[in-house]
Structure 1
């Protein structure tokens, strides 16, 4: 007898009360529906488990700069974390697709704190006059082993909502995940700055190690992981198209092969989104520096992040006629228009207002790109594609920061704002390809 592996049978618990799939909750009940679907404990666990990812890059930069007195070495360490994450994330996603999320997450829950410990040790023994080989190696290891909680949470949501076409749970869940990511990347660097200034520069990384060991482990064993069935546990299809050990079906469903050209559309979209984030933050640092407030650039940037997070939550209530690809087109066009406002402010207060306006289309754009990723990704590579999207943000952030920093050094902050505008233009161009990709994948 063939077992249905798409959604494993399990006894309901007090924490996991499935909603009625025959009902589509109204706007006021959409977030209650996903709370019922995953269980209330999922949300604090997944949020705290992803917090270390937002702390590692800034934590490495802060610690090495403080220990060595060199911004160059600090940037070198932060770049190592970013490169390691960009390389390691898709590999972790592929392993999760093959053998399951739980063993991969448990492995990183052990490996990443070890990597953080090695990095702290290298910082304690660092001599700025020597080539910091061990520091760079530890930074790469720290980035590569960082648990990809956000992408894997999205994969769980896609599995849990795959048999619920009458509701809008997936849109709601992706909207929540976009907000969680935004808040994480606001709170993470702020927490690093607070702990480093108030106690010691090594404390943020030590806290990240503790959070990873505890909360990632809790995320790994949470019951929602059972909804994601790895390829190693799925029934094998014989050459005649029958599941081994089962009767031959009348019309076996063909396996969907990865269409990498379609998959690269949302991946490049996340690279452009990362470039927008990195270049905006760097440009704002230069802008604030002109008022002798460079250290407050993170607080100024938070204005955009907070409005973006609120706007991401609103996606669950948008009319369905927009569609995922159409929403990307609309929001990217708004981003491009609003980035032109960055060239106008002549004071910090005015810039804060502009950033709050600019953030409104940013969150929905991210939600839409992840939605397109879910549409074009084959089921058996969902984790790989989701982590590729996350890696795209990291890569784009490094690229945007670098280009904007060079322009700011050479020509001033007004020229650096060209990079966020160009990134938004790239997002709009890619959104047109996303419309075609969504149609092609749906028709396949």
Structure 2
């Protein structure tokens, strides 16, 4: 494989990639060739801490304090921190490069995870809950934004392919990787918290953050993303057909961001609701294991999107998948036992993955090139911020009225995704008509 160079980011006028004509069965082999095998294992392990810290904080505080509300507020503090810190990290990556930002996060994040553990362990002795919230906020704010920054790398790596197939395949893979991380992350939290101690999942997240995020920072794919100031100095050309995207209206840009907030609300409320549902069977610590069932089907469905026909547009995919999510979310009110809930969660996960792929796909189409890292982290932070909203709403509802009331938040979030999908479809069509 040829060594990476900054020319891959430029998108200069070169012949279309030979991979443009690769049959569907070879699309994933092509992105493996582009990034190198080590990229996939490193990037996957590096994104696990972000998948663990929210539900890890919720599980730790709920187990120690016995309060679903305090657990929900802790998860909310993580989400608020990530919502503010994530885009800041993305903007810095756009300005000074990914490597420096990721290495700083690999140092700061483990320290703040440790602070959360120590503060939470003081709660039974009268330790202040405010200290837990402050440390949780910092833990979220320094959370390594591996998924969004990996997507920026893919945009550079696939810039020579004018058909968009390589980028679509990469986005499908990234959504699958996100989903698998949010399967394995909560599952690890549930297993380690139930079998060993509730603080152990966060301790593992700290170790992974220090080691694997550093490895991701040093991976050679970081070299393909040229920071905006350097690109201007070197007069690196903008890929053909993409220059006009910088003028995209903020109204259109906000729709994918709000979509990811709704997606996060869906996730956060489901996590908190499942903790309460498991609690009725004396298994509140197993919420991560229940939640992982939805992630399994979601990951498989996300991977399949690479093979969907291109005439099935991103906007249409968002609407159809969100409609299916809304219908399936209502089934959460039906089960009265663990087996039934596992079946519903598996069904519910099927439209989740394609919805995420579609939202990120629209984001990649409309975002300004020079702020791509910022926008991708905004999308990811929207998910985490929504998780905070969902946990903050569903946790107190579950404590006051039981898990059925909390699941209504999950269904409402899915319905919001459908409404935003319809609005996005109209906005994208209007924008295309104006530029036609």
Q: TM-score range by the shorter chain?
A: 0.7 to 0.9
Q: Does 1:342 align with 2:332?
A: yes
Pick closer, same or farther for the CA change 1:74–1:380 going to 2, 3 Å. same
Pick closer, same or farther for the CA change 1:127–1:405 going to 2, 3 Å. closer
Task: Tell whether the 8 Å contact from 1:155 to 1:386 is kept in structure 2 after alignment.
Answer: yes
Task: Tell whether the 8 Å contact from 2:109 to 2:209 is kept in structure 1 after alignment.
Answer: yes
Deviation at 1:64, TM superposition (A): 4.3
Given the two structures, how large is their TM-score scaled by the length of structure 1? Answer: 0.86
Structure-2 residue corresponding to 1:366: 356
Structure-2 residue corresponding to 1:150: 147
Deviation at 1:120, TM superposition (A): 4.0
Structure-1 residue corresponding to 2:212: 215
Greater mean deviation of Cα atoms: 413-422 or 123-132: 123-132
Structure-1 residue corresponding to 2:189: 192
CA distance in structure 2 between the aligned counterparts of 1:339 and 1:121, rounded to whole angstroms: 37
Structure-2 residue corresponding to 1:58: 55
Q: State the Cα RMSD in Å.
A: 2.9
CA distance in structure 2 between the aligned counterparts of 1:33 and 1:156, rounded to whole angstroms: 15
- Structure 1: gaps (5+ residues): 10-18, 238-242, 247-251
Pick closer, same or farther for the CA change 1:342–1:115 going to 2, 3 Å. closer
**What are the superposed Cα offsets for residues 11-70 of structure 1, whole Å, 9 maximum, x if unpaired?**
xxxxxxxx9535422121111111011111100000000111122223334444555666
Given the two structures, how large is their TM-score scaled by the length of structure 2? Answer: 0.87
Deviation at 1:352, TM superposition (A): 2.1
**What are the superposed Cα offsets for residues 150-182 of structure 1, whole Å, 9 maximum, x if unpaired?**
110111112212220235111111111111111
Q: Paired residue for 1:316, among 306, 309, 315?
A: 306
Structure-2 residue corresponding to 1:299: 289
Residues 11-410 of structure 1 aligned to structure 2 (within 5 Å): 20-21=17-18, 23-65=20-62, 73-123=70-120, 128-166=125-163, 168-235=165-232, 256-257=246-247, 259-410=249-400
CA distance in structure 2 between the aligned counterparts of 1:121 and 1:351, rounded to whole angstroms: 34
Task: Tell whether the 8 Å contact from 2:261 to 2:383 is kept in structure 1 after alignment.
Answer: yes
CA distance in structure 1 between the aligned counterparts of 2:178 and 2:224, rounded to whole angstroms: 22
Task: Tell whether the 8 Å contact from 1:376 to 1:441 is kept in structure 2 after alignment.
Answer: no
How many residue pairs were aligned? 421
Structure with the larger helix share: 2
CA distance in structure 2 between the aligned counterparts of 1:294 and 1:256, rounded to whole angstroms: 47
Pick closer, same or farther for the CA change 1:309–1:22 going to 2, 3 Å. closer
**What are the superposed Cα offsets for residues 201-247 of structure 1, whole Å, 9 maximum, x if unpaired?**
4433332222122211111121111221111111259xxxxx69x9x
Deviation at 1:143, TM superposition (A): 1.5
Deviation at 1:255, TM superposition (A): 7.8
CA distance in structure 1 between the aligned counterparts of 2:286 and 2:202, rounded to whole angstroms: 22
Larger radius of gyration: 1
Pick closer, same or farther for the CA change 1:292–1:59 going to 2, 3 Å. closer
CA distance in structure 2 between the aligned counterparts of 1:199 and 1:253, rounded to whole angstroms: 53
